[in-house]
Amino acid sequence: MKAFTIICIISIIFCTKNFEKAKEIAKYVNSLNTTWKASEIPFDTDGYLGTFLERREKIIPTKKKFSVSLGDLPTSYDLREAYPNCESLKEIRDQSKCGSCWAFGAAETMSDRICIKSGQKLQTRISPQHLVTCCSVCGFGCQGGWPEMAFFSWWWSGIPTGGLYGDTKTCKPYFLPPCEDHPHNCTDYVDTPSCENSCQESYNKTVEEDLTYGEFVYTVSSEEDIMKEIYESGSVEGAFEVYEDFEEYKSGIYQYTTGSLLGGHAIKIIGWGEENGVKYWLIANSWGENWGENGYFRIIRGTNECGIEDAAYAGNPKLNEEKIRRIE
């Protein structure tokens, strides 16, 4: 009983400090008349930031040739509008209290690429669960990983399908429920589950039968090349440095204002635009629909804000052409 009381007291003190810090940061950001607004309600990123920003090795090549030129690109572009029948492009996932952002950004990008390349016919969902639990070269599961290695794994060994928590129509759905639906699951660190070499019972395929592959995978860097890649082929996985003020992001075009570096975070970039003369990237996060701008956020484009333009990751999927013809 005493131990429980002590834990409760510590939790109250910790939450009080979080709220006070959040209010302090929000008050400062909102006083600057900058390009974004902060919320006084704290979002604790502890346990969420699992992306290693340093490249482990240059395992996959850098793409340098594109079929479009900078002059071909519009002022604003949104893949959700360009490919309205690709359901994955409109989906915000929730990684819950696991540092699996590196796997989510990769799996979401791969899912989008499959739909786009199939002419918006295939609505495949690639499994972040498999990357987190079974990709030994990718990193340490919920304790972090390299986006580059997730794409290498897609090319080298393949990745099965996997939807949201509770999904019964894919091989390996995510093992954690959304934080916003089950907040008690988001108070503690989550251990990485062991790798399962089989699909869930409700899915009538083996993992080997369900694998999808990248035909070739690569990185792109710089504002111009990332824009060309998105316009030419689809979404990309990006990564950036997260500082304390980003925890309080509510709306607008984020740029760093205050606070210490907390870690690296991976996301999915789905377009770009310009607002009141300020250029931005349009980004899907993996913290649920109640965070930010309905699960999305924008960040300043063209200045390599927080390293967002250092590198992005993508690939061209292999498609089962016979399967596509059957859909037609």
Domains of the chain in start order, with CATH, are: 2-327 (3.90.70.10)
What whole-number distance in Å separates Cα of residue 107 and Cα of residue 21?
34
Question: What local confidence, expressed as pLDDT, does residue 12 receive?
Answer: 38
What whole-number distance in Å separates Cα of residue 312 and Cα of residue 225?
10
Nearest partner of 327 among 170, 161, 121, judged by Cα: 121
Q: Identify the residue whose tokens are 């918006």.
A: 120
In one-letter notation, the amino acid at residue 266 is A
Nearest partner of 177 among 168, 191, 167, judged by Cα: 167
- Catalytic position from the list 98, 130, 265, 306: 265
Annotate 255-268 with b (16+ C-beta within 10 A) or e (fewer). Answer: bbbebeebbbbbbb
Which residues of the chain are modeled with pLDDT < 50?
1-17, 325-326
Strand partners, 296: 284, 293
If you write DSSP's letter for every residue of 125-184 in order, what string do you get?
-B-HHHHHHH-TTTB-GGG-B-HHHHHHHHHHT-B-B--STT-SSSSS--SS--TTT-GG
Of all helices (H) and strands (E), which one includes residue 17?
Answer: helix 2-31
Question: What local confidence, expressed as pLDDT, does residue 328 receive?
Answer: 52
- Catalytic position from the list 86, 101, 186, 306: 101
- Catalytic position from the list 142, 171, 186, 285: 285
Torsion of CA 145, 38, 91, 211, to 10 degrees: 0
- Single pTM value for the model: 0.92
Question: What local confidence, expressed as pLDDT, does residue 5 receive?
Answer: 37
What whole-number distance in Å separates Cα of residue 75 and Cα of residue 159?
35
Please answer whether residues 176 and 185 qualify as being in contact, where contact means their C-beta atoms are separated by less than 8 angstroms: yes
Is 285 catalytic? The answer is: yes
Rounded to 5°, the CA angle 80-83-87 comes to 70
Nearest partner of 91 among 115, 75, 60, 73, judged by Cα: 115
Q: Where are the beta strands (DSSP E) in the chain?
A: 36-38, 77-78, 214-220, 236-243, 249-254, 261-275, 278-284, 296-300, 312-317
